[in-house]
Amino acid sequence: MIKREIIILTIFLAALFLFFGTSSVSADDYNNYGLFIDGTKLDGTSVARMFNGFTYVPLNKIKANINVAIVEDKTTNSITISNSTKSIKIINAVTVQLSDNTIMDLDAPLIFRDNNIYFPILGLIDLLGYEVEVMDDIRSIRIKTMGDAVLVGKLVDAELNKKLNAANAESSGYPRVAYLTFDDGLDSKVTPIILDTLKKEDVKATFFIIGKTIEKNKSLLLRMIEEGHSIGNHTFTHIKENIYSSGENLKREIDKTNTALFDAAGLVTSLFRPPYGGTYIKSDELKAVLNPYRTILWNVDSMDSKSRSIGSAEILSSVINQVKNKKSAVIIMHDSGTHMETAKALPDIIKYLKDNGFTIRPIMEDTNIYYQY
């Protein structure tokens, strides 16, 4: 079944490549792709998701855009999905009854997550008659409901121009930009102090989270999101031998954290920071695993993880010495339990950055920074 999905999507990609110059990608790359309906881009919470090797779309979120009605019948444990031309009933998440009473099984079952119905994208093609086009250049999938919809190539060009204009505006509008990033949390003692400081100073940061810390600290994760901070993946265990011994192990570590983030907060992120930095992700095997992600490194090291005895004054001095001649600074710090001195240094770091003309911003998925692997 997985092969069938890859074949069908590859056909679409090949057609796009011939007509619009898009590049082909593997099926795994469609995770976290944004969604377009005809010529309309949906908001960032509506993205394609991968479950068990299949690509899904959040049907509840896009039903109005694709003119679909959904009726749930809890007495028969069934869901009826219909548009202007077709109607299907899905029983027990997998068995499909067509309008002519033909019975068949979905290639991939419905997934119920975060009060949403995730519907396999192949079902949109096979059962509801929509066209699906993959726009790799802008990491998006377009679901086509109208025959005269705008050409996909024009959508790609418009989106790329929009990003270019935004990058130019960002460059001219913020002569000096600093990104505060924190690795290795969540921690019940240090992380709240850092969040309190960021809130007091009205500053947003980026947290690269270790997956195994999430279950005991869900409230901290939800607070980060509510207060506008960006969230990235920092593997599940942070244990070098678990992470980098093979591409399969790296993918497992990342996937486990992605699942933990989604289960705890409904969060999907494409930001990733490799534990111990870029030295360990040089091989083609590991690069292939990281292809769907924005792998964010840094160009300013606070040195807070180099010695257990380092004090807040040394951390501050290290940051100042490295940022003073930079226009754009990605600063690495840590918020695990051994980094109380980092929390103490943070107010002075923020004060120095503000006093010296830096705008402090979180790293978003489309942030135009250059310190990435």
Active site residues: 183, 334
Distance CA 185, CA 336 (A): 5
Backbone phi, psi, residue 207, to 5°: -115, 120
User: Are 223 and 259 spatial neighbours (Cβ–Cβ below 8 Å)?
Assistant: no
Helix axis angle for 340-355 and 190-200, nearest 10°, is 20
Distance CA 316, CA 63 (A): 51
Bridge partner residues of 294 (DSSP): 271
Q: Say if strands 116-120 and 54-58 run parallel, antiparallel, or are unpaired.
A: antiparallel
283-306 burial, b if ≥16 CB within 10 A, otherwise e?
Answer: eeebeebbebbbbbbbbbbbbbbe
User: Are 74 and 186 spatial neighbours (Cβ–Cβ below 8 Å)?
Assistant: no
Question: DSSP letter at 48?
Answer: -
End-to-end CA distance of the chain: 34
Amino acid at the residue 363: I
What DSSP element (H or E) covers 80? strand 78-82
User: Are 293 and 28 spatial neighbours (Cβ–Cβ below 8 Å)?
Assistant: no
Helix axis angle for 218-226 and 190-200, nearest 10°, is 10
Distance CA 28, CA 22 (A): 17
